[in-house]
Amino acid sequence: MLGRLGRYVLRDFAGLFGMALLLVTFAMCLGAIYKAIDVLSRGIDVGTVLRFFLNNIPYTLSYSIPISVLFATLLLFGRLSADSELSAMKSGGLSLWQIASPLILMALGLSVFCLVNNTLIYPNTQYANRSLLKNMGVEDPVKLLDEGRFIRDFPGYMIYVGKKEGSQIEDLVFYEISDEGGQIERSIRAKTGTLSHREGESFLEVMLQSVRIELPDPEHPDDATKTHYIAADQFPIQLDISAMSEREAVSKKRRNMTLAELVYQIDHVGDVLGMGVEQAEQERCRWRVHLHQRFYLALAPLTFVLVGIPLGIQSHRRESAAGMVLSLAVMFVYYLLIIVADGLDTKPQWYPWLIPWIGTLAAQVGGLWMIRKLN
């Protein structure tokens, strides 16, 4: 009897989940569709554009699978409760745990898939897309200056960007590196800066504001007392991007790194030249926040099922609008913790990488307690 009911519950859930997954994934892929059309309009062949679009799907699935699981769970158990099917199953001697167990096992399987996807599949496909865009010559040069990491892609420079919003950047450090020996010839620090690039130009212009330039003594480069300091309100820098178009490799951003690469970055972030202890700890904190978010999102299907079962039963409605409202409320709280952790990623004393786990622990314990209460 449980086998038939289990298949019945799974079949209904799979139908709702599949429909929700198609709709949510399509909605989240609209940006990629727009980008694909833009690339196609530049004369790129259809096969390359299709590969670009397909490479974007694994990243979209990391968000659309948990959302679809929550929506399908709320709708399914809301309908079972409203149609009194749940009461009939209980009258037949089945507990709520037995009814929900096939769904919980399926959610566990989806979480395992999301874990593999978040730590291995989508980082590689996102990196493949960036390489594809670079080879097609359509990647925006302004996006090359990514925040929160040291960038060595520009000839003669090693650059660190603390924060970036569009073309506006903050907390900048530019190290001019000599061609011979790789020594720092001078360092340029600025509070803010503005990026600009005109189509067809072979350089990216950075206009720095509130600048301090440090010039080490050539004869005593390690003696800080002989370093010369120059202050300026503005200071322009031109970064050569022509050489980058000839390179085959594309540097990996944080989102493009697999689990092993993220762990390596956390362990070796202090090895970066010129990074102080406090700055290294802040950078390590950013990497940890991103790493923990991968696991947090992977556990979302299991968490949403445990929360969605009791919420769906208590809604007592069969209208999809009720399930949608509950889905949005739960998702808002769950993903809000990711935003909070991102906002505190430069404050290691707050342990922001642990903040999302509060949501997972609270949701799972609360869901199990509500299921037990309704059983």
Query: Within a domain: residue 89?
Result: yes
Residue 276 counted as domain residue:
no
Task: Pick the range with the lowest mean pLDDT from 31-40, 83-92, 206-215.
Answer: 31-40
Same domain, 123 and 37: yes
What is the tens place of the pLDDT at every residue in 250-308?
677 888 889 998 888 888 776 654 566 777 788 888 889 999 999 999 999 999 999 88
104-117 mean pLDDT: 94
- Reported pTM: 0.72
Q: Express each pLDDT in 8-52 by its tens digit.
A: 888 889 999 999 999 999 888 887 777 777 666 655 667 777 888
Residue 110 has pLDDT above 50, yes or no: yes
118 and 153, same structural domain?
no
Burial pattern 298-335, b for ≥16 Cβ within 10 A else e, equals bbbbbbbbbbbbbbbbebebeebebbeebbeebbeebb
| Same-domain status, 227 and 200 | yes
User: Do residue 125 and residue 9 come from a single domain?
Assistant: yes
Domain boundary among 247, 269, 301: 247
Q: Which of 62-71, 188-197, 213-222 has the lowest mean pLDDT?
A: 213-222
**Per the structure, how many domains does the chain have?**
2
Domain boundary among 226, 247, 268: 247
What does the pLDDT read at residue 244?
55
Do 228 and 126 share a structural domain? no
Asked if residue 266 belongs to a domain, the reply is no
Q: What digits encode the pLDDT tens for the residues 298-352?
A: 999 999 999 888 888 876 644 455 556 666 777 888 888 888 988 888 888 889 9
The answer to whether 281 touches 348, Cβ cutoff 8 Å, is yes
Q: Give me the domain span that covers residue 213.
A: 147-247
Residues in CB range of 231: below 8 A, 6 or more apart:
211, 212, 213
- Note whether 102 and 224 are same-domain residues: no
Flag whether 252 is in a domain: no
Domain assignment present for 279: no
The answer to whether residues 154 and 199 belong to one domain is yes
Residue 168 · residue 145 · CB < 8 Å: no
